[in-house]
């Protein structure tokens, strides 16, 4: 076991200097990069993991702790976890793009894990949903390595990642061969859907690509294997989240946030999903953000972060 050498803290008075008392609870962010959570032949999928770090709760990566002979994080150090799926129109994601913004959740006391999924050039629907659920399972298995409370996890995502998060709530595959961690649950306590591309049943569901709506070369067509969804309405409905929700569907509470000026994903996608959830007696909350577009700083504004935080506290408390 590595032992720190003894050291005498400086305590002499310095004329003109001011002493600033510190608590030891001041927090910064430990960023653990490119943690592999799944493998498919030559395809490796990774998580970007952000962990709160302070003097009173010093965090290190599993490799660093092993180097110094330190144990895994103790249970009383565990934090609730936000699993976030960044959008990409189902093409290859930039999983690093929002690390700075997401660190604001770390400052609020969350571990954040950013999920890389298989894009449509690797595997079609439902690959991203399968991947998101396996990412949750990985975090449960390795909760002690990353200070995660395995009973307090919510799944979030934006755009196509919002579709992934929303669909993962109704895609219960714990007993299926898609589960890479048999016996480990992929369920979460709540879902946060940021402007998810969840509905393809109306012509301007994605205004920016309206000229290719549901065509084989559209993002939604490519996600379904390069198929024209206008000629395959069953596949169009399969991809549309609301079409797969009934009163019997098991789904955890969902918070939906969508800008009213979103030209990439029409906010009516979220409105239709919200109405369907409510019609079926599900726990759903919708915030329409006036004038907001497809993402942007508004979604990380303090009052919006607090909406997500309050939602997380509510769903965690529901399960106690």
Could you give all domains of the chain from N- to C-terminal order, each with its CATH number? 28-199+240-318 (3.40.50.1820)
End-to-end CA distance of the chain: 38
Q: Which of 215, 145, 158, 213 minimizes the C-alpha distance to 191?
A: 158
Would you place residue 71 in the very low, low, confident or very high pLDDT band (cuts 50, 70, 90)?
low
CA distances from 211 to 151, 205, 219 (A): 44, 11, 12
Per-residue pLDDT reduced to its tens digit, 279-298? 999 999 999 999 999 999 99
- Give the pLDDT of residue 174: 96
Would you place residue 77 in the very low, low, confident or very high pLDDT band (cuts 50, 70, 90)?
confident
- Give the pLDDT of residue 4: 64
- Give the pLDDT of residue 74: 63
- Give the pLDDT of residue 285: 98
- Give the pLDDT of residue 75: 59
Mean pLDDT within 122-150: 97
- Give the pLDDT of residue 73: 66
Would you place residue 219 in the very low, low, confident or very high pLDDT band (cuts 50, 70, 90)?
very high
Which pTM does this prediction carry?
0.94
Per-residue pLDDT reduced to its tens digit, 156-204? 999 999 999 999 999 999 999 999 999 999 999 999 999 999 999 999 9
Residues 6+ apart with CB under 8 A from 291: 259, 260, 261
- Give the pLDDT of residue 58: 75
Q: How much of the chain, in percent, has pLDDT values that exceed 90?
A: 87
More confident residue, 135 or 77: 135
- Give the pLDDT of residue 292: 97
Per-residue pLDDT reduced to its tens digit, 13-38? 999 999 999 998 888 999 999 999 99
Would you place residue 153 in the very low, low, confident or very high pLDDT band (cuts 50, 70, 90)?
very high
- Average pLDDT over all residues of the chain: 94
- Give the pLDDT of residue 102: 98
Would you place residue 5 in the very low, low, confident or very high pLDDT band (cuts 50, 70, 90)?
confident
- Give the pLDDT of residue 60: 72
Mean pLDDT within 267-272: 98
Is the pLDDT score of 59 beyond 90? no
Per-residue pLDDT reduced to its tens digit, 97-123? 999 999 999 999 999 999 999 999 999
Is the pLDDT score of 303 beyond 70? yes
């Amino acid at each position: 076991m590595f032992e720190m050498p003894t050291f005498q803290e400086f305590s002499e008075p310095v004329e003109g200097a001011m002493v600033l008392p510190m608590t030891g609870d001041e927090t910064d962010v430990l960023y653990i990069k490119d943690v592999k959570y799944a493998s498919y032949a030559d395809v490796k999928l990774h998580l970007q993991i952000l962990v709160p770090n302070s003097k009173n709760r010093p965090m290190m990566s599993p490799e660093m702790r092993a180097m110094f002979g330190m144990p895994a994080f103790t249970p009383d150090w565990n934090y609730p976890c936000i699993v976030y799926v960044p959008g990409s129109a189902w093409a290859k994601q930039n999983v690093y793009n929002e690390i700075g913004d997401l660190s604001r959740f770390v400052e609020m006391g969350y571990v954040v894990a950013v999920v890389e999924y298989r894009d449509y050039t690797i595997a079609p629907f439902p690959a991203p949903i399968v991947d998101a659920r396996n990412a949750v399972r990985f975090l449960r298995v390795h909760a002690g390595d990353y200070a995660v409370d395995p009973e307090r996890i919510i799944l979030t995502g934006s755009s196509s990642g919002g579709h992934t998060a929303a669909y993962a709530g109704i895609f219960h595959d714990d007993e299926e061969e898609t589960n890479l961690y048999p016996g480990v649950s992929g369920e979460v306590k709540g879902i946060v859907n940021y402007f998810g591309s969840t509905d393809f049943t109306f012509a301007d569901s994605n205004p920016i690509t309206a000229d290719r709506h549901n065509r084989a070369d559209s993002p939604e067509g490519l996600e379904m294997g390069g198929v024209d969804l206008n000629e395959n309405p069953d596949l169009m409905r399969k991809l549309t989240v609301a079409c797969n929700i009934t009163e019997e569907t098991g789904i955890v509470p969902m918070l939906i946030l969508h800008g009213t000026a979103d030209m990439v994903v029409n906010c009516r996608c979220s409105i239709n999903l919200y109405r369907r959830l409510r019609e079926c007696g599900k726990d759903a909350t919708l915030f329409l953000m006036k004038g907001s577009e497809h993402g942007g700083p508004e979604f990380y504004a303090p009052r919006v972060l607090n909406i997500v935080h309050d939602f997380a506290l509510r769903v965690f408390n529901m399960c106690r």
